[in-house]
Structure 1
Amino acid sequence: MRLAVVGNPENRRVALFAAAVQRAGLPAPEVFPWRDVLRDGRVPGPGTLVRIDSPGENAEVGALLRELGGGRPAGPAEHGEIVGAAAAFAGLRVGLGRVEAGGGVLLNSPAEILAMTAKPRCHALLTARGVPVPPALEPVHDYASLRSAMARAGWPRVFVKPAYGSSASGVLALAAAGRRVTAVTSAELSGGRLFNNLRVRRYDGEPVIASIVDRLAPDGLHVERWFPKAALDDRVLDLRVVVIAGRPRHVVVRASRSPMTNLHLGNARGDVAAVRAAAGERAWEAAMHTCARVAECFPGSLQAGVDLMFRAGWREHAVAEVNAFGDLLPGVLVDGLDTYGAQVAAIKEMACAT
């Protein structure tokens, strides 16, 4: 069995997957750096099982994606700068096409990676399959059209998300009450440019909120009705559930005092057992069943990270997002395996079956 990874060699996910492969007694996978795929077209060939990992968190790769997607060829963006998301997505499509053309056996479908990454497309797909998601506004193209659409829908509170992106980059939790508008976000305006900051902040001035939205809008926006999340110990929470080979396995609770629950923003891991007890076994099993249904929407993907929210009161739940590369849950073991060990076990089962 020949295994390869398309990814950034410095990425922790690549190293953890390679370690899991070797623990399983298999040869170390060959790593094909994204920069080589994008710059030179070097990809795994026929007969190789290929794991596709995230091209993110590398400035050079980000610049190559934007250039390949028709964006500015001005080199890497500044650290944390939110820029060129639509062009990067277009570049990702080209890069994934090259990987697919190499003829390897892909463990992650390029079409499904793209569908998960494009939030409007993912939301539409889940909606069509009957998966519970927060309702979405009609498309908006700037702050003025956003406020008009909110007024028509009668929604005073929404989540404004860039159409392409991850890690809460550029996401705003926006609330409007008459002339008063507030937004909670990790986005920061500096020198007329927009950056993703690890400190979540609150904006109360409408002009600066409008400016942030208008800077994000050219790359596309996806706006959902605010979903009131359940809370424990004065922290709202949601779950990252990693589904592997169709089975919801590894779960992390993300608890926060702000609407943004991403752990890299300084939020805390919650107690899975406490959340399961608060929800009750029936509600918990229903939520896990929903995560399995999400995986059924992406049958060509070995794994997916599902962000699942319980509504306050625990009687309902909804899917916030689906992440093609959302399997980094360090220290979370199920049957003695982390997410990467479980993926390798599933790969070995697949190989034996064929």
Structure 2
Amino acid sequence: MSLSPSRPAPRTGLRFAVVGNPENRRTSMFADAVRAAGHGTPRVLPWRDVLRGRYAFTPGEWVRIDSPGENAEVDRLLRGTDDPARVEGTALWHRRFTTVLRDVARAAHRAGAVTSADPEDVAVMFDKRRCHARLSAAGVPVPPALTGAVGGWEELKDRLKQARLARVFVKPAHGSSASGIVALETAGPGRVKATTSVETAPDGRLYNSLRVRHYTSEPEVAALVDALVPDGIHVERWLPKASQGGRACDLRVVVVAGRATHAVVRTSRHPMTNLHLGGARGDLDAARAAITAAGGTFADVLETAERAATCFPGTLCVGVDILPGAGWRRFTVGEVNAFGDLLPRLTGLPGSGAEGLDTYAAQVAAAQVAVRRTERKEHHHDTTA
């Protein structure tokens, strides 16, 4: 079924609300999509109020759960720190955020409203260890990873040696937007290199920066890892990735209602391809051609993303990071993002049903389709009862 409405949808009683930050670009772009679909302006429930329990839903509302990021007050409420650039505090953030999400979902259910995301899905997506395990159990290809907790640098060194892993990503278990991620290379006793956007202050505290840097002394790397460990870390093999124009690349695929609708290539001179760290959009047509030349199909990439999305059935939209292997021959899932839909000016893939729609318009259309389907079922039940 196509997601693209040919004209504003007829009145269905569907009303939209957003739990988000009014100044967040995601929230404003979603509001634009709701208005364009003929539903007026959605009601915005600011995260700062929701976190304090000041919110309520109304029957029939479709409630988008948006990112709580990009607001210093909200970050302080979730992480207990006055400096949003700090890396530490992600475990506390995860506990508080998921607790509130569960409360929101229960309140919506009691009011007869529907949320865009299942709180348990989101809790897993924001725990890289659990997300990796869920994907792996479902047969979705993921990088090999260490299992169990890691107690610190010395233990990590021993476990990497036992697993014969010389190049790994060390990721904060509950991080996002590359916060705290370390691309680690070990080449024998005392020979290490850590590539990261983390800046270590003289007092040992960790801060995010927009500059990717390299640490090459073992004491520096040990201090970095030991500072990340209390919040939990996920360690997985650093797979050699395909390149485009001499830059490492991956793909972000947005899946809406189980269907891959949007895709973008991200390239970088660094192991992390995030746009705020100097990454740039690549050429999707060139990527398609490289995949075909290697004997594969782009449909295989989209199918991999859709398989990953099926692991989170209660969530309307996820962003799946696909890691293309060197030579564009193999594809693994690096991350599944609950808020991975911020791709401005990108319209739907041909044949996706979201042609001409951005990621937010595609979600509005999917919500409309779901509501109409429910209404037809209820009407059928009423007439046959």
Q: When the two structures are superposed, what TM-score results if normalisation uses the length of structure 1?
A: 0.95
Structure number, greater radius of gyration: 2
Q: How many angstroms apart in 2 are the aligned matches of 1:46 and 1:163?
A: 36
Amino acid aligned to 1:200:
V
Amino acid aligned to 1:243:
V
User: Is this contact kept in 2: 1:5–1:51, CA < 8 A?
Assistant: yes
Matched residue, 1:308:
322
Q: How many angstroms apart in 2 are the aligned matches of 1:265 and 1:43?
A: 38
Mapped pair 1:341 → 2:361? yes
Query: What pairs with 1:150-299 in structure 2 (closer than 5 Å)?
Result: 150-178=160-188, 179-192=190-203, 193-280=205-292, 282-299=296-313
User: Is this contact kept in 1: 2:183–2:194, CA < 8 A?
Assistant: yes
1:192-222 deviation line (CA, Å, top 9, x unaligned): 2111111111111111111111111100000
Matched residue, 1:92:
97
Mapped pair 1:60 → 2:69? no
Pairs aligned (count): 346
Q: Provide the secondary structure at the position in 2 that maps to 1:340.
A: helix
| Structure 1 residues 182 and 245, CA gap change in structure 2 (3 angstroms) | same
Runs of 5+ consecutive residues of structure 1 not aligned to the other structure:
67-71
Q: How many angstroms apart in 1 are the aligned matches of 2:147 and 2:373?
A: 45
User: Is this contact kept in 2: 1:138–1:149, CA < 8 A?
Assistant: no
Matched residue, 1:34:
47
User: Is this contact kept in 2: 1:307–1:321, CA < 8 A?
Assistant: yes
Displacement of 1:114 in angstroms is 0.8
Q: 1:112 aligns with which of 109, 121, 139?
A: 121
Matched residue, 1:351:
371
Displacement of 1:138 in angstroms is 2.6
| Structure 1 residues 185 and 48, CA gap change in structure 2 (3 angstroms) | same
Q: How many angstroms apart in 2 are the aligned matches of 1:261 and 1:285?
A: 23
Amino acid aligned to 1:130:
G
User: Is this contact kept in 2: 1:161–1:223, CA < 8 A?
Assistant: yes
Q: How many angstroms apart in 2 are the aligned matches of 1:95 and 1:191?
A: 35
Mapped pair 1:50 → 2:73? no
Q: Provide the secondary structure at the position in 1 that maps to 2:296.
A: helix
- Identical-pair percentage: 53
Displacement of 1:79 in angstroms is 3.6
Q: How many angstroms apart in 1 are the aligned matches of 2:300 and 2:215?
A: 37
Q: How many angstroms apart in 1 are the aligned matches of 2:82 and 2:146?
A: 31
1:303-345 deviation line (CA, Å, top 9, x unaligned): 0000001100211110000000010001111211110011111
Q: 2:154 aligns with which of 144, 153, 161?
A: 144
Displacement of 1:93 in angstroms is 1.4
1:30-79 deviation line (CA, Å, top 9, x unaligned): 0111111111342424431111001122221122123xxxxx5xxx4324
Matched residue, 2:16:
3
Amino acid aligned to 1:271:
D
Q: Say what the alpha-carbon RMSD is for the aligned residues.
A: 1.2
1:8-37 deviation line (CA, Å, top 9, x unaligned): 111000000000000011121101111111
| Structure 1 residues 64 and 45, CA gap change in structure 2 (3 angstroms) | farther
Q: How many angstroms apart in 2 are the aligned matches of 1:176 and 1:155?
A: 8
Moved over 4 A (4+): none
Q: Provide the secondary structure at the position in 1 that maps to 2:52.
A: helix
User: Is this contact kept in 1: 2:75–2:84, CA < 8 A?
Assistant: no
Q: How many angstroms apart in 2 are the aligned matches of 1:115 and 1:45?
A: 28
Q: How many angstroms apart in 1 are the aligned matches of 2:169 and 2:84?
A: 25
Amino acid aligned to 2:186:
A
Matched residue, 1:69:
none
1:241-286 deviation line (CA, Å, top 9, x unaligned): 1011111111111101111111111111100000110111734221
Q: How many angstroms apart in 2 are the aligned matches of 1:45 and 1:216?
A: 42
Q: Provide the secondary structure at the position in 2 that maps to 1:98.
A: helix
Q: How many angstroms apart in 2 are the aligned matches of 1:210 and 1:46?
A: 53
Q: How many angstroms apart in 2 are the aligned matches of 1:172 and 1:273?
A: 30
1:106-130 deviation line (CA, Å, top 9, x unaligned): 1111111111111000000000000
